[in-house]
Structure 1
Amino acid sequence: MKRILSVLMVLPFATLVKGQELPANADPGKCYIKCITPDEFREVTETMVVSPSYKKIKTTPATFKTVEEKVLVKEASKKYVYVPAVYETIDVSYEGKAAATTLEPVAATFNNDSKTIETYPKVGRWEYKVLDDCPSANKEGCMTACFVEYPAQNTTVAFKTLATDATTRQVPVPGSSKTYKKQVVKTPARMDEIEIPAEYATIKRQVVDQPAQVIEEIVPEVTETVTRTELVKKGGMTVWEEVDCKIASGANILPILYELNSARITPESKRIIDEHLLKFMKEKPNLSIEIMSHTDSRGDDAYNMSLSQQRAQSVVNYLVANGISRNRLVAKGYGETRLKNRCANGVDCSEAEHQVNRRTEFRIIQ
């Protein structure tokens, strides 16, 4: 929605503007500027888990060892002289390899999910421009204020959740058996007893040496940090700032000097900025200003434009480094497009005349 508001940005108390709400309790002879208080924001950092911690399981199988064992292969018996004993051979089973259990890992499973986060809220603010067909010589007398809305900005972050954690399952490992031959008495001897000693043999078999083991490894969670901007306080056209009428009337010279072909701010220039502009910006927290830098006509036009922009930006950067919000500052280089005297390209001028054009200015824009 477009709203048009006719506002005289610099208002002496004695000036009456039709349809203009003037500041309350104004002093005669003072100048006031109606300001758009900016929206206030804050950065919020949120850490979210995009991959949860989970457990990895590894297993080591059981190990076996071979042992020797002495077994009876023929029982002791008795033999008689006249009727010897009669034997029969049978198969005897024994455990050749013991049964065991091995463990197999079952991996963890995950679900995919996502979350939409508002990274920048829906905001609206007043923006000014000068009417193209303004009849006034003072362009600030034909300001248009438009309320512009900007939609919210969102981002989608994908993450995983743990569905089932890792575990193990038991897998049986069957044992094996073997047999050996054994003679047993079928018919005992009769009459004279003769002792027949038992007979033994040595067999080998495998037994469990080390049982199967589980080795657990914890995989840590993975997090992602998302920074979003929240609207803390809504701005609006609500504040009048009293300013010196000389400052409010237009461009104001900021008497700082730069080194040749340099945009670096010297210690002396910093002192001048502190006294003339930094203090003013801190005392008038609702005002915004434009830093305007100019060059003389000597040198290439494009180079002069670039150098003036760098010099204006260096002043803005210095103010931001000293606590002034960048939203309140505009840097603009004009090169040699706004000479204050006749010293254009090709005109022979003195150093003092060129110095007049090498200037830095500031003006209130809100």
Structure 2
Amino acid sequence: MKLKRTNLFLAAIISSAGTLYAQETPNFDPPTQNPEPGKCWVKCITPDEFEDVTETVVTEPAYTKLTTTPATFKTVEEEVLIKEASKKLVYVPAVYETQDIPYISKEKTTNLDIVPASFGDDSKEFETYPKVGRWEYRMLEDCPSANKEDCMVACFVEYPAQNQTVPLKTLAKDAYTTDVPVAEEGKSYTKKVVKTPARMDEVEIPAEYATIKRKVVDQPAKTEEETVPEVTKTVTRTVLVKKGGITTWEEVDCGLVGGANLLPILYEYNSARLTPDSKRIIDENLLSLMKNKPGLRIEIMSHTDARGNDDYNMSLSQQRAQSVVNYLAGKGIKRNRLEAKGYGESRLKNRCGNGVECSEAQHQQNRRTEFRIIQ
């Protein structure tokens, strides 16, 4: 850390009896050699400007899902010849021999087996907040000088980048099918054929038939496809769009410099919610100031009276100060120009501490919200 002695950050140009006094006069553009008496300027260091970027990434890819319907069969009947027609001789009958005749009782086909899609694991790292650095100012303890500004130190502090790793799934191999052959089935029937015909008188022997049953393919196997859509995730990350650190001067009302300024807003009992009247007061006192003076930074300070639990009062005051910051941010004021600080009952303006009986008006003096211009 490098220490640096600083001059006053608030420069007031005051004219008295024709003499001009100033501890650090602003560098005006164009330069002004004779500023008006009673004018005050605040030295401001422009902050870094950031922007939230939203990006959509695919965490699971789209893929194809397959289903198969196996082949169906139907049974048909068929008439087949089991004995041929012939002639018989009166004296010498015909001689027959038996033969086995094969036939296909069930045709062959092909079924399909599904091999499902396979996936791999992957990840992607995003920078959710960039590496930044800024000057931070603080006052040295036990300052020997009557002028506290002589003991102010400036430290350049770097904050590392912040990252986020998002797990991803990748499609290693899509689903597919493999053929599963189904063999045909065969049977046989017997058939008698004439080996030696009859001789002499011929007698007609009619043919004989039989009915057989066999299974044939009715509907062949088929595949149906279903597309499973991809799965996405939205990642929001903050990027630095403009580097700050430039010194600017803002002219302000001298009544606003040098200490806390009362912001006359009232809260509902035991609540940090802003009432419509409170919002109107903020608009008139702070919102217009912040919009007209884009280089200013403001600290909102909220206080409670001493009644109730100390820790609870500290928490409630922080919530109330934060509600003012949130309201201003909702009106377009950047949050890096605002700070919320709750002091609870630690900065009472009168004697009304714990256990001291006071009127409601005296307690009301302590229940206050203030603001002050900061670097």
Q: Do they superpose with TM above 0.5?
A: yes
Cα distance in 2 between the residues matched to 1:31 and 1:15? 12
Cα distance in 1 between the residues matched to 2:164 and 2:270? 44
AA at the equivalent of 1:23:
N
Q: Which residue of 2 aligns with 1:2?
A: 2
CA-CA distance at 1:269 after TM superposition: 3.4
The reply to whether residue 249 of structure 1 matches residue 262 of structure 2 is no
CA-CA distance at 1:171 after TM superposition: 1.3
Task: Check 1:136–1:163 CA distance in 2 against 1; reply closer, same or farther (3 A cut).
Answer: same
CA-CA distance at 1:109 after TM superposition: 1.9
151-160 or 344-353: which moved more?
Answer: 344-353
SS at match of 2:327: helix
The reply to whether residue 234 of structure 1 matches residue 238 of structure 2 is no
CA-CA distance at 1:296 after TM superposition: 5.0
Q: Which residue of 2 aligns with 1:54?
A: 63
Q: Which residue of 2 aligns with 1:82?
A: 91
AA at the equivalent of 1:2:
K
CA-CA distance at 1:136 after TM superposition: 4.2
User: What is the RMSD of the two structures over their aligned residues, measured on CA atoms?
Assistant: 2.8
Q: Which residue of 1 aligns with 2:11?
A: 11
Q: Which residue of 2 aligns with 1:23?
A: 27
Cα distance in 1 between the residues matched to 2:204 and 2:357? 146
Q: Which residue of 2 aligns with 1:191?
A: 200
Task: Check 1:60–1:334 CA distance in 2 against 1; reply closer, same or farther (3 A cut).
Answer: closer
CA-CA distance at 1:151 after TM superposition: 1.0
SS at match of 2:287: helix
> TM-score, normalised to structure 2's length?
0.86
Q: 1:281 aligns with which of 272, 277, 290?
A: 290
Kept in 2, the 8 Å contact 1:65–1:208? The answer is: yes
Kept in 2, the 8 Å contact 1:79–1:85? The answer is: yes
Cα distance in 1 between the residues matched to 2:281 and 2:236? 38
CA-CA distance at 1:313 after TM superposition: 3.2
CA-CA distance at 1:253 after TM superposition: 2.5
83-92 or 262-271: which moved more?
Answer: 262-271
SS at match of 2:255: helix
119-128 or 130-139: which moved more?
Answer: 130-139
Task: Check 1:10–1:181 CA distance in 2 against 1; reply closer, same or farther (3 A cut).
Answer: same
Kept in 1, the 8 Å contact 2:5–2:150? The answer is: no
AA at the equivalent of 1:273:
I
CA-CA distance at 1:324 after TM superposition: 2.1
148-157 or 327-336: which moved more?
Answer: 327-336
Task: Check 1:61–1:344 CA distance in 2 against 1; reply closer, same or farther (3 A cut).
Answer: closer
> TM-score, normalised to structure 1's length?
0.88
CA-CA distance at 1:302 after TM superposition: 5.0
Cα distance in 1 between the residues matched to 2:202 and 2:128? 106
Task: Check 1:181–1:308 CA distance in 2 against 1; reply closer, same or farther (3 A cut).
Answer: closer
Cα distance in 2 between the residues matched to 1:52 and 1:117? 19
Kept in 2, the 8 Å contact 1:2–1:148? The answer is: no
Kept in 1, the 8 Å contact 2:6–2:149? The answer is: no
AA at the equivalent of 2:265:
I
The reply to whether residue 152 of structure 1 matches residue 161 of structure 2 is yes
Task: Check 1:221–1:271 CA distance in 2 against 1; reply closer, same or farther (3 A cut).
Answer: closer
Q: Which residue of 1 aligns with 2:176?
A: 167
Kept in 1, the 8 Å contact 2:301–2:341? The answer is: yes
Kept in 2, the 8 Å contact 1:7–1:142? The answer is: no
Q: 1:112 aligns with which of 107, 115, 121?
A: 121
AA at the equivalent of 1:83:
V
* Number of residue-to-residue matches in the alignment: 364
Listed as ranges, the matches of 1:124-135 within 5 Å are: 124-135=133-144
CA-CA distance at 1:312 after TM superposition: 3.0
SS at match of 2:295: coil
Give me the identity figure in percent: 70
Kept in 2, the 8 Å contact 1:265–1:314? The answer is: yes
Task: Check 1:164–1:143 CA distance in 2 against 1; reply closer, same or farther (3 A cut).
Answer: same
SS at match of 1:256: coil
SS at match of 2:246: strand
Cα distance in 2 between the residues matched to 1:288 and 1:202? 103
AA at the equivalent of 2:172:
A
Cα distance in 2 between the residues matched to 1:163 and 1:306? 53
Cα distance in 2 between the residues matched to 1:353 and 1:83? 146
Cα distance in 1 between the residues matched to 2:306 and 2:96? 132
309-318 or 226-235: which moved more?
Answer: 309-318
CA-CA distance at 1:303 after TM superposition: 5.5
Listed as ranges, the matches of 1:215-226 within 5 Å are: 215-226=224-235
Structure 1 residue ranges without an equivalent (≥5): none
Kept in 2, the 8 Å contact 1:38–1:235? The answer is: yes
330-339 or 194-203: which moved more?
Answer: 330-339
Q: Deviations over 1:170-203 (max 9, x none)?
A: 1111111111111111122233322221111111
Cα distance in 2 between the residues matched to 1:104 and 1:303? 68
Structure 2 residue ranges without an equivalent (≥5): 14-19
Task: Check 1:227–1:268 CA distance in 2 against 1; reply closer, same or farther (3 A cut).
Answer: closer
49-58 or 79-88: which moved more?
Answer: 79-88
Kept in 2, the 8 Å contact 1:9–1:141? The answer is: no
